[in-house]
């Protein structure tokens, strides 16, 4: 888990999801691709996830839904603070990669001790992608979270752009996730590569 962490966020169709996932992973060099779906039916979510499992060569991760991850054959699931507890998810799916969203250094330390495979941490900067975001943590908060997490990789998220990549990498974070700034860029793959390259240099 190092470099650029890509997210396919609420795609309008399977074709759109597969095309974006290819740009992020094949052309953009993402180390992982997550599917985030906040609306629609579980059936549609599963269909999207199965399509991306077949299309993505890097670890494919489902946001929030362990059931969808298991049915689709995903490599992992990413859990929020209000989702299924990590221990329960681990018992249900011992072989699955499990990431946990954290929003302050204390949560990062707790999730690392509990056995998360990696941590999402943020928001680092103000973000418009998430409704009711948690308080901004900044680069200082990110550096503290990296220390608190020990050997567990930390993926920075929230308001990140390619211009922030070097500063994010300098904190010791393993990866950075930029959704709006990459998925909405004129050249998605190029924007993703800028972030991935910053971590290869770091």
Which residues form the catalytic set? 36, 101, 130
Structure tokens at 106: 């204390």
d(CA 202, CA 190): 19
User: DSSP letters along 98-110, please?
Assistant: EEEEESSHHHHHH
Give the H/E segment covering residue 4.
strand 3-9
CA 100 to the chain's CA centroid = 9
Beta strands 175-177; 97-102: pairing state: unpaired
């Amino acid at each position: 888990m190092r470099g650029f962490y890509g997210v396919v966020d609420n795609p309008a169709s399977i074709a759109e999801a597969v095309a974006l996932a290819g740009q992020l992973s094949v052309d953009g060099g993402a180390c992982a691709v997550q599917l985030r779906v906040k609306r629609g039916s579980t059936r549609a979510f599963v269909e999207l996830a199965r399509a991306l499992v077949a299309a993505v060569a890097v670890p494919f991760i489902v946001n929030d839904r362990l059931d969808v991850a298991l049915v689709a054959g995903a490599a992992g699931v990413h859990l929020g603070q209000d989702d299924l507890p990590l221990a329960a998810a681990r018992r249900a799916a011992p072989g699955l990669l499990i990431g946990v969203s954290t929003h302050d250094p204390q949560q990062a330390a707790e999730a690392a001790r509990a056995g998360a495979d990696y941590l999402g941490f943020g928001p680092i900067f103000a973000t418009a992608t998430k409704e009711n975001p948690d308080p901004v943590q900044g680069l200082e908060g990110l550096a503290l979270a990296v220390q608190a997490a020990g050997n567990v990789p930390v993926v920075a998220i929230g308001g990140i752009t390619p211009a922030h990549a070097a500063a994010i990498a300098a904190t010791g974070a393993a990866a950075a996730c930029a959704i709006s700034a990459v998925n909405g860029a004129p050249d998605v793959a190029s924007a993703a590569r800028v972030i991935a390259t910053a971590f290869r240099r770091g």
